[in-house]
Amino acid sequence: MTKTFFITGVSSGLGLAFAKAALDVGHRVVLPSSYIGGPRYMNQRFQDTIALVRYYEGFDLFVTFTCNPCWPEIIAELLPSQTASDRPDLSVRVFNMYKTALVNELVKDNIFGPSSGYVYTIEFQKRGLPHMHLLLSLSPASRLETAQQVDSVISASWPDPDRQPRLFDVVRRSMVHGPCGRSKPDAACMKDGVCSKGFPKPFQAETVLTRDGYPLYARPDDGRSYNVRGFDADNRWIVPYNPYLLSRCVTFM
């Protein structure tokens, strides 16, 4: 009997033994809805959210809040040569601190007016940074029912660099989409030759409310454009933002 034949026989025998034992080992476990992240947990949260939508007749604001790896609370605790991606524990703790402060401003300080309810979910980007998607239901008296009310809360154009230099700097760093399209056809957002996010948006003289609940934000063709990441970006490339919250948190919102 050669060594190769012996090893092959042992390997085959062990494989059959493990296969047979696998049928008798352990038992099926059904994860309950109390197990965070499990299928029943996610389904229960989904059903709860749908119940809120039905009770409050929909939500009024959709807020996206992303962890900023340049927050001073993160930078101050990094070791030499480390980045925020190397310290997910630190990023998550600081993000949770900012997230709690944001939710308190929305539902306790009522910066957009009295709210009826809210729901949010936390997701993680590929590079490990957390971000939140939040739906906020405002009281009937606080709902944005006119174009002027929408403009008082949401902007989709360049701020004045002379009167609002801090806001302008944050928008330039965090709220400009691109480059993509002809400027960068291999960008991650490009699908079948077009931007999957719909940029650049068409110019819009004034905000228009649509029947589906998604306003067409004002993006005036005022001739202003600024160089961002190697291309000239006008109002068609601005991601909608709330000036107060953006300046407050210095993040992508």
30-39: pLDDT as tens digits: 889 999 889 9
pLDDT confidence bin for 5, thresholds 50/70/90: very low
Task: Return phi, psi of residue 103, to 5°.
Answer: -60, -40
Q: What does the alpha-carbon distance between residue 3 and residue 11 come to, in Å, rounded to a whole number?
A: 12
pTM: 0.80
Task: Give pLDDT, residue 37.
Answer: 87
Question: Of 114, 115, 1, 120, nearest to 64 (Cα)?
Answer: 120
Q: Enter the tokens of residue 89.
A: 């524990």
Question: What average pLDDT does the segment 161-173 reach?
Answer: 93
pLDDT given for residue 25 in this prediction: 58
| β-pair partners for 227 | 232
